[in-house]
Amino acid sequence: MNINMDTQNFTNNGPSLEVRKDIIKGSRRISNYFWLLFLYLSGFDFLLTGSSSYFHKNIVSFIEASTIAFIPQGILMVFYGTLAILIGTFLLSFVIWDIGSGYNEFNKVEQVVRVVRKGFPGENRGIFMSYPFEDITSIDLEIAEAINPKRIIFLCTYDERRIPLTPASEEPLPLATIEKQATSLAEFLGVRLNIIEVKF
C-alpha cells in the first residue's frame, strides 16, 4: 500500500502559492485489488473443496476432492473458505466506497487548514475538519523503524491535538521523501518541524 500525497498549489485561475492541496488516495489501490482477487479465489477454492468432500462428489471438474474426508479436513476447508470470502467482502466494501480518500487543504488566503476524508455511508460518510492557522503550533514527523515501519505526518494545535495527515495504515514512503514533504509543509505554514523517532 502506498501513501500518495499528490501536492497541488492552485487558485481558481491557475497555479499559486496561496493554496496547497494534498490529495490522499483511499482504498482503491492496486494492492487491495490483488488481495480481493486472492481472497475470493482461495476462498471459493477451499469452500468448493470442502463441499465436494461432504457430498463425495467433485462439484467442479478441476477440483479432485471426493476422496478427502469431510471430518476434519473438509470442515476446516469450508470454514477457511467462508472466512476468506467474508474478509474479501469486507475489503470490497472499502474499495467500493473508497474509504480513507480525501484531501488536505492549506489555504493562506482564508488562513485555514481543511482535512477531508471519506468514511462509510451514513451520517459520517464525509469527515470534515478545519483548523485556523493561528491554532497550529507545528508539524510533527513521527518515525518508527521496526519490522513494520511507520512514518506519519501530524498537524499539531495549541490544544495538544495531533491530526494525522498521512494514513497510518499504509506502507510508508521512503524516509527522504516523507521528510521532504514534512519540511515543505512546515515551511508553507510557517511553523516548526519536529522529527520524532519512536523506539521499540
List, in sequence order, every beta strand (DSSP E) within the chain: 5-11, 14-24, 102-107, 112-118, 126-132, 136-144, 150-157, 162-164, 192-198
**Which has the closest alpha carbon to 127: 152, 99, 151?**
99
In contact, 120 and 99? CB cutoff 8 Å: yes
Domains of the chain: 5-26+99-198 (2.30.29), 31-97 (no CATH)
Residue 82: the pLDDT is: 95
Report the relative pairing of strands 192-198 and 136-144 from DSSP bridges. parallel
> What does each of the 200 residues of the chain score in pLDDT, given as a tens digit?
333 445 444 343 344 578 899 888 888 888 899 999 999 999 998 888 888 887 777 776 666 666 777 788 888 989 999 999 999 999 999 999 988 889 999 999 999 999 999 888 877 778 899 999 999 999 999 988 777 778 889 999 998 899 999 876 566 778 888 899 999 999 999 999 999 887 76
Confidence (pTM): 0.71
Cα within 13 Å of Cα(26), Cβ side: 19
Amino acid at the residue 6 = D
Q: For residue range 165-183, what is the model confidence (pLDDT) as tens digits? A: 987 656 677 888 889 999 9
